[in-house]
Amino acid sequence: MTKGADDGKSVTNMKALVYHGAGKLALEDRPRPKLAKPTDAIVRITTTSICGTDLHIKKGDVPAVTDGRILGHEGVGIVEETGAEVAGFHKGDKVLISLITSCGRCAFCRKGMYSHCMAGGWQLGNTIDGTQAEYVRIPFADTGLYQLPPGVDEEAAVMLSCNLPTGLECGALSGRVKPGDVVGIVGAGPVGLAALLTAQLYSPAEIIMIDLDDNRLKAASSFGATKTVNSSDGKAAERIMELTQKAGVDVAIEAVGIAATFDICQAIIAPGGHIANVGVHGKPVELHLEKLWSTNITLTTRLVDGGTTPMLLKMVQSGRLDAKKLVSHRFNLAEILKAYDTFANAAKNHALKVVVKNTGPGGGEKPEL
């Protein structure tokens, strides 16, 4: 955090990762956010991370994100300031930030569809400035923040801002994984791996992970995948049909966000099965109703709501869920462009999830790099 030199009195700047159109990201000085509404809080970020969705944004796949937006929807930090109507949080509280902003009162919030909140939704790093900065403004702080329970590691917690609730809600729950199922997960990035970790809570018989990256497939095996398939030869669907004695999978989870991987899901789904789309798609896909019309399948799409976050926090706190093992790389905020590069080229760098620490003036503790 640095005092702005331009007016000599009131502008307080911070470092932030800013989007400037497809392919263009820059680490810049930006004014530190201020409270805008009495329900807001300002949080000083201590740990943030990069999501596959940020890579889609960088590609230009998410048109809602416009030039000048500070990216990031994952973070842990310390409450710096609260608006007059914030009841549950105070300066100094260590908090987990949910990617979803929700008023808690509108018709969609009352249905538990917080990501469709009429006054919020997925806004952070999308339609409002996000967490890849020294400070962030959190609207509806009472519902957008969670107190970090004692003993919960920051890096484990930051996996709960987005990835673990996404894997669980959009993957395992939408796909209705049940005991004895054969599950195929296409994409072994942090979100696919989170689907793998949370699908196991429902006792499937088999989980087959599909990716192009052998390092991520190796991680998947150590996280509980029973089989892995490298799809770089374009024959993943045939291989999975062989592995399932031509039956296909009961649940196919798409965790990439491109047509090729959605096609794999359509090709491997068993009669009566569920295709749970998780990936953010920037382009249309072809829906093969000429094959699927008679096979009793269910196709779901979902934006994560974060309603499972309190439950996941308890599981992390009790040691039932080891979220920290998703983290492979650590960077300082000053090196965030390198962190993007490492995550975008995950196979080359043997990367799973990369976390970014704010160790600047006023920032968190020094990371073990």
Among 46, 48, 53, 342, binds ligand NAD (CB under 6 A): 53
* Chain position carrying tokens 């989870």: 253
Cβ pair 37, 83 in contact under 8 A: yes
Q: State which of positions 93-122 bind Zn ion (CB under 5 A).
A: 102-103, 106, 109, 117
Minimum distance from residue 23 beta carbon to ligand NAD (Å): 16
42, 152, 162, 299: which one contacts Zn ion (CB under 5 A)?
162
Cβ pair 314, 182 in contact under 8 A = no
Rounded CA-CA distance 175/252 in Å is: 7
Rule CB under 6 A: say whether 49 interacts with ligand NAD.
no
User: Is there binding between residue 260 and ligand NAD (CB under 6 A)?
Assistant: yes
Based on the shown chain and the rule CB under 5 A, indicate whether residue 159 belongs to the binding site for Zn ion: no
Q: Is 52 in the site for ligand NAD (CB under 6 A)?
A: yes
Task: Tell me if 18 sits within 8 A of 322, measured CB to CB.
Answer: no
Q: For residue 154, report the phi and psi dihedrals to the nearest 5 degrees.
A: -60, -40
Interacting residue with ligand NAD among 190, 273, 363, 364 (CB under 6 A)? 190
What CA–CA distance (Å, rounded) separates 347 from 349?
Answer: 5
Residues between 69 and 128 that touch ligand NAD (CB under 6 A):
none
The total number of residues written for the chain in this structure: 369
Considering the complex, state which of residue 141 and residue 162 has its C-beta at the smaller distance from ligand NAD: 162
- Quick one: 365 exposed, middle or buried, by C-beta within 10 A (0-12, 13-18, 19+)? exposed
Using the rule CB under 6 A, is 177 a contact of ligand NAD?
no
129 contacts 123 by C-beta, under 8 angstroms: no
Shortest approach of ligand NAD to residue 281 CB, angstroms? 8
- Does residue 356 belong to the site contacting Zn ion (CB under 5 A)? no
Amino acid found at 106: C
Helix (H) or strand (E) holding 47: strand 41-49
Considering the complex, state which of residue 42 and residue 323 has its C-beta at the smaller distance from ligand NAD: 323
Of 133-172, which residues contact ligand NAD (CB under 6 A)? Answer: 162, 166, 170
Whole-number minimum distance, CB 187 to ligand NAD, in Å?
4
Q: Confirm or reject binding of residue 240 to Zn ion (CB under 5 A).
A: no
Cβ 55 to ligand NAD, closest distance in Å?
5
- Could you tell which of Zn ion, ligand NAD, none binds residue 175, using a CB distance below 5 to 8 A set by kind? none
| Shortest Cβ 2–ligand NAD spacing (Å) | 32
Q: How distant is the alpha carbon of residue 365 from its chain centre? A: 23
Residues 281-310 that bind ligand NAD (CB under 6 A): 302-304
CB atoms within 10 A of CB 63: 8
Position among 39, 53, 98, 126 found at the interface with Zn ion (CB under 5 A): 53
Residue 224, by phi and psi: left (phi above 0), alpha (psi -120 to 50) or beta?
left
Provide the Cα torsion 110, 115, 119, 123; round to 10°. 160
User: 141-153 burial, b if ≥16 CB within 10 A, otherwise e?
Assistant: bbbbbbebeeebb
> Which residues are at the interface with ligand NAD (CB under 6 A)?
51-53, 55-56, 162, 166, 170, 186-192, 210-213, 216, 231, 255-258, 260-261, 278-280, 302-304, 346
> Which residues are at the interface with Zn ion (CB under 5 A)?
51, 53, 102-103, 106, 109, 117, 162
